[in-house]
Structure 1
Amino acid sequence: MTAFDEYERELWAGRAEAFLRSSAALCAHPAGDLLDAASVGRGDRLLDVGTGTGTVAGLGHDRGAEVTGVDAEPGMIEVARQRVPGVEFRHALLPRLPFADGEFDAAVGNFVVNHVGDPVAAVRELARVVRPGGRVAVTIWPYPPPPAQQLWATIFEAAGVERPADLPRVAPDRDFPRTADGLTDLLGRAGLTEPGCDTITWDHRTDPETWWNGPAGGIGSHGAILRRQTPATVERVRAEFDRHTAPYREADGLLTLPTAALLGVGVVG
């Protein structure tokens, strides 16, 4: 466990319900593409790592796969069990999973690589538990960030809020470029063959209060920053939020936020 891993455990502790009410819908969008990339079908043994509230696991179950979902946050497991009956959910942390070599036909991780301190070790562990010829597929948020994610940085900057210097980051010698080439290279270094990456783009439609409630509920790095601010600063951030989201607000009151994800896949040799 790196300092970044410990930070992530603290960041997400007790926030499953807040995630479900805010960012879960955004993260759910690539789920079908992720399962397609991993060639998940009826009868396949699928491992969903970083299952969160169980969206990908549930879609895999609907396809007839035999699904096991794991997450590092016990609260996520509790919510996933309530939302997706019929799927086995367990508490487990990368890069050490409690499964035998080759136990699954495929493994997927929807945005989980964004939340580990050693991405190569994490993907290597996913490959270990998949049989030869099976697929590992993962999604990450790209950098530079798409408009939906960049919007929060713009809001913080306008409100005079800076990222605290003591928030842990992935160590430079373990990090990788959050680009299509960077993710493809990561999969190859983790031992996967035929690595590749596609970019998925979409417009995320959401209520402004839902978009605000993610960071306001402590979700993600933006939530970690917002939690450290004084009430007066939070009020200033909210004012800038209203101002900078206004151009994305449609006639029905919802926001239309352009966003993107990188979807990488490789084959276990």
Structure 2
Amino acid sequence: MTAFDQAERRSWAGQATAYASSFAKLCAYPVPWVLDAAEVCAGTRVLDVGTGTGTAALAACERGARVTAVDAEAGMVALAARAASAIDVRLAALPHLPFGDHEFDAVIGNFVLNHVGRPRDAVAELRRVTRPGGRIAVTIWAVPGAPGQALLGQAVQAAGVARPAHLPALAPEDDFPRTEHGFAALLSEMGLADVSCDTLTWNHRTTPDEWWSGPAAGVATIGQIVRSQPNTIIMEIKGHYDALSAQFADPDGVLMLPHAALMAHGRV
């Protein structure tokens, strides 16, 4: 396990409920496109890796698929298990999945590759558990991000806060370009065929309080950065957030935050 993986485990420990009430709705947007790209339909044996609260797994169940899901955080596993009794949910993390070779017709990973220290090893593991001819579909956040994605980070930067040393970035030799070409190349490099990558864009509708609740609770890397600061600095970040978020507010005060994700998919 890399230092990045270890930091991710610490960052997400105990955060399932806070994630469910803050960022989960945002991350649910690509699910229909991911399932379509993986050709999920009735009878498909599907593995959802990094299931989170189980949104994609539940949607696959609703299509009549036979669904197994895994997550690295026990709280997420508990939430996903409650989403539908038909889902076989297990505690597991990339790049080591507790399944034999070629067990699944389709493997999906909605934003899970944003949270692994060695993306190439992770994709290789997704490929290992997918049958020949089966499909893999995965998403990541686009870089540079859309304006709504940058909002919280801009508030942190405006307060003069740098990324703490206990939150290491991905090692340069393990990273890849977070572009359509770069993401597609990653899947092709790991042996997938007929690879393509699309950019998904949408406006995430939320309230200022809901969007702030994630980092305020320590959810994800941005939350860990915020929570590691003294109260005076947290309040300064919040002040910048309030000012910056006003540009995205509609007349009723609801935020419309532009986001962009990349969805890459291919055949084993």
TM, length-normalised to structure 2: 0.98
C-alpha distance in 2 between matches for 1:178 and 1:166: 23
Structure 2 CA distance for aligned equivalents of residues 124 and 31 of structure 1: 22
1:25 paired with 2:25, answer yes
Runs of 5+ in structure 2 lacking a partner? none
Q: Deviations over 1:116-151 (max 9, x none)?
A: 001011011001111111100000001111111211
Q: Which runs of 4+ in 1 moved over 3 A?
A: none
1:160 aligns with 2:153: no
1:267 aligns with 2:233: no
2:200 match: secondary structure = strand
> How many residues of Structure 1 are paired with residues of Structure 2 in the alignment?
268
Task: State the match for 2:145 in structure 1.
Answer: 145
Partner residue of 1:201? 201
- How many Å apart are 1:165 and its aligned residue? 3.7
Instruction: Give CA deviations for 1:177-198 in whole Å, capped at 9, x if unaligned.
Output: 1111110010011111111100
SS of the residue 1:241 aligns to = helix
Contact conserved, 2:19 with 2:219, CA < 8 A, in 1?
Answer: yes
Cα deviation 1:198-248 (Å, max 9, x = unaligned): 000000000111100111111111111101111011111111111000111
Q: CA deviation at 1:162?
A: 1.7
Alpha-carbon distance, 1:84 to partner: 2.4
Partner of residue 110, structure 2: 110
1:166 Cα deviation from its structure 2 partner: 4.1
Unaligned residue ranges in structure 1 (runs of 5+): none
Amino acid at match of 1:185: A
Q: Which residue in 1 is equivalent to 2:54?
A: 54
Q: Deviations over 1:140-180 (max 9, x none)?
A: 00111111121122111222222224421211111101111
- Structure 1 equivalent of residue 257 of structure 2: 257
Instruction: State the distance in 2 between where 1:142 and 1:159 align.
Output: 24
Q: 3-state DSSP class of the match of 1:89?
A: strand
> Cα offset for 1:252?
2.2
Query: Which is worse superposed, 74-83 or 106-115?
Result: 74-83
Q: Aligned to 2:174, what secondary structure does the other structure show?
A: coil
Any idea what the Cα deviations from partners look like across 1:74-115, whole Å, max 9, x if unmatched? 110011112222211001111111111110000000000000
String of CA shifts for 1:9-48, please: whole Å, max 9, x gaps: 1110000000000000000000000000001000000000
Q: Per the alignment, in what secondary structure is the counterpart of residue 93 of structure 2? A: coil
**2: CA distance between counterparts of 1:197 and 1:93?**
24
Q: CA contact under 8 A between 2:101 and 2:129: conserved in structure 1? A: yes
Residue of structure 1 in register with 2:169 after alignment:
169
1:136 has 2:133 as partner: no
Q: SS in structure 2 opposite 1:173?
A: helix
2: CA distance, partners of 1:179 / 1:165 = 27
Q: CA RMSD in A?
A: 0.9
Distance in 1 (CA, whole Å) between partners of 2:138 and 2:161 is 32
Decide whether the 8 Å contact of 2:7 with 2:166 is kept in 1: no
Other-structure match for 1:214:
214
Distance apart, 1:253 and its partner CA: 2.0
| Fraction of identical pairs, as percent | 52
Distance across 2 between alignment mates of 1:106 and 1:162: 40
| TM-score using structure 1 length | 0.98
1:177-256 alignment, distance < 5 Å: 177-256=177-256
Partner-residue secondary structure (3-state), 1:177: coil
Aligned AA for 2:263?
A: L
For residues 150 and 165 of structure 2, the distance between their equivalents in structure 1, rounded to whole angstroms, comes to 19
Rounded Cα–Cα distance in structure 2 between residues aligned with 1:4 and 1:164: 13
Aligned match of 1:122: 122
Paired residue secondary structure (2:253): coil
Judge conservation of contact 2:207–2:254 (CA < 8 Å) in 1: yes
